[in-house]
């Protein structure tokens, strides 16, 4: 398989990566199953409300996983920062940090008149929405309660 180097996601295999997570990543390397990686604090299991959907082309060049990214630009992640792995086909968790949790998330009034609502995490604005419902869809996506973001992009 030829992988475009401009569209790769590099996962550096950190020696602190938990063995169960490493086993899942190796299994995914074999199956090419589409998954979502949730990133967070490896000590506490707290989600950073950041993740990557990986769709196809897993392979191991040396000590890193490489995948064609849906993001459109190269990205580098450390495997120790993966706190949850969710299968995209059915939403099933393949791996979860024993203390995985999402930080408190609030929908707040906008600071800019262009938007109707904002999503706030740790006193930082993380998303802007034109309705409370769209903000809730974003929150549910970040928490792994929904697999698709398509409703937000319409």
Domain boundaries, the chain: 5-96, 105-153
User: What letter would DSSP give residue 102?
Assistant: P
**C-alpha distances in angstroms, 97 versus 3, 71, 138?**
30, 25, 22
What gap in Å lies between CA 148 and CA 125, rounded to an integer?
A: 22
**Does pLDDT of 127 surpass 90?**
no
Under the banding of pLDDT at 50, 70 and 90, the label for residue 3 is: very low
In the numeric block, which tokens belong to residue 134?
Answer: 């769209």
What gap in Å lies between CA 129 and CA 101, rounded to an integer?
A: 24
Which pLDDT value is given to residue 16?
Answer: 84
pTM of the predicted model as reported, rounded to 2 decimal places: 0.75
């Amino acid at each position: 398989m030829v992988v475009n180097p401009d569209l790769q996601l590099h996962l550096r295999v950190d020696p602190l990566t938990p063995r169960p997570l490493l086993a899942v990543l190796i299994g995914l390397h074999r199956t090419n199953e589409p998954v979502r990686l949730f990133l967070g604090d490896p000590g506490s299991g707290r989600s950073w409300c950041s993740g990557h959907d990986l769709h196809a082309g897993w392979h191991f060049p040396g000590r890193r996983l490489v995948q064609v990214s849906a993001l459109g630009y190269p990205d580098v992640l450390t495997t120790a920062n993966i706190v949850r792995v969710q299968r995209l086909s059915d939403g099933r968790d393949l791996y979860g940090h024993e203390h995985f949790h999402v930080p408190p998330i609030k929908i707040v009034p906008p600071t800019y008149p262009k938007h109707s609502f904002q999503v706030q995490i740790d006193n930082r604005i993380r998303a802007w929405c034109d309705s409370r419902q769209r903000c809730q869809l974003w929150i549910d996506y970040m928490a792994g309660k929904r697999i698709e973001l398509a409703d937000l992009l319409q």
